[in-house]
A and B are shown apart, each in its own frame.
Chain A
Amino acid sequence: DAGITQSPRHKVTETGTPVTLRCHQTENHRYMYWYRQDPGHGLRLIHYSYGVKDTDKGEVSDGYSVSRSKTEDFLLTLESATSSQTSVYFCAISESTRGGRDTQYFGPGTRLTVL
């Protein structure tokens, strides 16, 4: 497995509380991504980063924010968690987005339950 870790791996929280998920890489890859995986929806991109302090929105960014202050860390924050954000969250990294170096490597996932 590529050097990608996610923390926590499991979390149960209550509606309205803030939650931060962390993705850490040791590969020095430029691109980092946050996805959520839901039955019937597959993987949907939440936010991504193309460098330190450079981020952009994905398909389902409402209710989420991200930060990347270091190459190796990409944080996903749910400002006020809702039950619709119960999901499995995956982080991914890639060296580039073209030219054969665009393979995305995925973390192990974080299972988040919002009660």
Chain B
Amino acid sequence: AQRVTQPEKLLSVFKGAPVELKCNYSYSGSPELFWYVQYSRQRLQLLLRHISRESIKGFTADLNKGETSFHLKKPFAQEEDSAMYYCALINTDKLIFGTGTRLQVFP
């Protein structure tokens, strides 16, 4: 079955510390993976997609097919990064979301 797993419900770090939000997937075929973010009192929005291989707000994510992972990383966390982060993959017409990780960045 297609599945996205985010093992951490909550990740707390101090400002300036590195951040890694974990995402593992199971999918038969070539996955298309995404990270979506929901800031407080804002709508859920796309952060980045693996196909574009871009860095958004300092975040990057590399698809590792061997480990079936798509971890989200940032070398130096900022307070404004505090949000709920969802990893997702496309399965035909649908997005399958993970359960989300709340990132708290303390000053």
Residues of A within 8 A of B (CB): 1, 31, 33, 35, 40-45, 48, 50, 56, 58, 90, 92, 97-98, 100, 102-109
Contacts and interface: CB of A to CB of B under 8 A. Distances in A.
B93 to A, nearest CB: 5
A58 B95 CA distance: 10
Contact of A102 (B9, B32, B45, B99): B32
B25 interface: no
**Contact-residue bracket for chain B:** 20 to 34
Interface in B77-99: 86, 90, 92-99
A44 B51 contact: no
Interface of B: 6, 9, 32, 36, 43-46, 49, 51-52, 86, 90, 92-100
17 contacts: A33-B94, A35-B97, A41-B99, A42-B6, A42-B97, A42-B100, A43-B44, A43-B86, A45-B94, A45-B96, A50-B93, A100-B51, A102-B90, A104-B36, A104-B46, A106-B44, A108-B43
A92 B44 CA distance: 9
User: B interface, by DSSP: helix, strand, loop or mixed?
Assistant: loop
Given A31-B93, A97-B92, A42 B86 contact: yes
Contact of B97 (A44, A48, A105): A44
A90 B93 contact: no
A31 B95 CA distance: 12
Contacts, number: 52
A42 B98 contact: yes
Nearest to B92: A97
B32 A58 contact: no
Contacts of B92: 97
A74 to B, nearest CB: 14
Contact of B90 (A48, A97, A107): A97
Contact of A1 (B43, B49, B96): B43
A105 B42 CA distance: 12
A40 B99 contact: yes
A41 B96 CA distance: 12
A42 B90 contact: no
